[in-house]
Chains A and B, each alone.
Chain A
Amino acid sequence: MAARTFTIDGKLVTAEENATVLDAATEAGIDIPTLCHLEGVYDVGACRLCLVEVTGIGKLLPACTTRVAEGMEIKTDSERLRKYRRMTIELLFAERNHVCAVCVANSHCELQALACRLGMDHVRYDYTFPRWSVDNTHTLFGMDHNRCILCTRCVRVCWHIEGAGTKNVSGRGSHSHIISDLNQSWGSSETCTRCGKCVMGCPTGALFAKGVTVSEMERDRTKLEFIVTAREKKQWIA
């Protein structure tokens, strides 16, 4: 496969022609913030946190779905990008009920970590305080819609890796929410295989293993990556 040479934040980088800007940056040790990207499943370009500036292109481009090109000049960090990213995070905090103090994922949460990284000391928007439910009907896992950011990682792992298709998005706009099967309780789902991959993929405290309490929900992402890599590289075959 042909290689492409370009710059990211002034650094000369080479990557395969099909690589995304996000892949290339990660490879080069440059960390672009993202919440919807998950190693092993297809990208959707939805969270808009990985937007980067590319010289000569008026619009900001999502690093996760933009392919590298020869001679591209990419800027992953600028005052403008930082400002937009912080606003995006603030919008998320105001959208649902993210109460870090009582969250299972406190200290292990990608949303919380990004808020720190982007310098969010408070949210400038009025909180909407919507009413969302908690689904605790599953024997192994729980889902708290209050903490969901609709990144759809769970939907994608459930379909793309596990092949069950239990999870999907229902409704639209700010009424969108993650469902199991026909919007029934997760515990009554007829398709859930209880594999737990959705829980492994969740960036916040929305999906959690039952029994964990505040700050105890740590996730092992390496398992997901292992499954995907093993499948792609046929490592299952001894």
Chain B
Amino acid sequence: MDRLKFATVWLGGCAGCHMSFMDLDEFLIDIADHIELVYSPVIDVKEYPHGVDVCLIEGAVCNEDNLEILHKIRRRTRVLVAFGDCAITGNVPAIRNQLGLKNGESVLQRAYLEGAQSNPGIPREPGIVPALLPRVMPVQEAVHIEYYLPGCPPPADRIKAVLAQLLAGTEPRLTGAQLKFG
């Protein structure tokens, strides 16, 4: 029996969605038989593989690195699930967009200069520290997304509902309160 090639990815977010994923508890064991986790922040795989069936994307698209990997994921994955409010709406990371054209510089300055307790300095290492995008985007603004799993974070039972439907080969459908943002 082929197992579903499954991935999760962490873009600009707080990892809360992944924490919530961990709250799936024993369901994680149930799905272990059906999926092969090929890429995730919780496993040590450096390169996103080809031919992935499903990928859960946490976080908004905030920097060049996020955008690049998202494009790569799209090309290598059949079904993308926007996972949590940051991926779907931009949520808290996107609040910086309100600051106008120089929003990226403003937040760096605030965090690394004004807010620094010691050694103030904005980290800039080309090739290591990716540059911020001028505008934080929800993932669907950059690539096509198949399904959406809202929540900040999405509660475990909501994640379970989506996964169960995906594994059962049906289109995941969330309704009513399961769609609540925040």
Let me know if chains A and B touch directly in the complex, using CB atoms closer than 8 Å: yes
State the A residues within 8 Å of B (CB): 93, 97, 99-103, 106-107, 112, 115-117, 119-124, 126-127, 129-132, 146, 215
Which residue of chain B lies nearest to A130 when distances are taken between CB atoms in the complex?
B98
Q: Is the CB of A121 within 8 A of B148?
A: yes
State the B residues within 8 Å of A (CB): 82, 85, 88-92, 94-95, 97-100, 135, 138, 140-141, 145, 147-148, 150, 152, 174-182
Q: A100-B182, A101-B92, A116-B177 are in contact. Are A131 and B98 (CB under 8 A)?
A: yes
- With beta carbons under 8 angstroms apart, the residue of A93, A119, A126, A129 that contacts B175 is A119
Q: A101-B91, A116-B179, A127-B90 are in contact. Are A121 and B97 (CB under 8 A)?
A: no
Chain A positions within 8 Å of B181 at CB level: 100-101, 112, 115
Q: Is the CB of A101 within 8 A of B145?
A: no
Which residue of chain A lies nearest to B16 when distances are taken between CB atoms in the complex?
A101
Which residue of chain A lies nearest to B177 when distances are taken between CB atoms in the complex?
A116
Which residue of chain A lies nearest to B82 when distances are taken between CB atoms in the complex?
A122
Q: A112-B181, A116-B180 are in contact. Are A122 and B145 (CB under 8 A)?
A: yes
A-B contact number at CB 8 A: 75
Q: Is the CB of A101 within 8 A of B85?
A: yes
Q: Is the CB of A101 within 8 A of B182?
A: yes
Chain B positions within 8 Å of A116 at CB level: 176-180
Q: Which of A106, A117, A127 has the most CB of B within 10 A?
A: A127
Which residue of chain B lies nearest to A146 when distances are taken between CB atoms in the complex?
B98
* Bound form: Cα–Cα A103–B135 in Å: 22
25 contacts between A and B (CB under 8 A): A99-B89, A99-B91, A99-B182, A100-B181, A100-B182, A101-B181, A107-B180, A112-B180, A121-B147, A121-B148, A121-B150, A121-B174, A121-B179, A122-B82, A122-B88, A122-B138, A122-B145, A123-B89, A124-B140, A127-B90, A127-B97, A127-B138, A129-B94, A131-B99, A146-B98
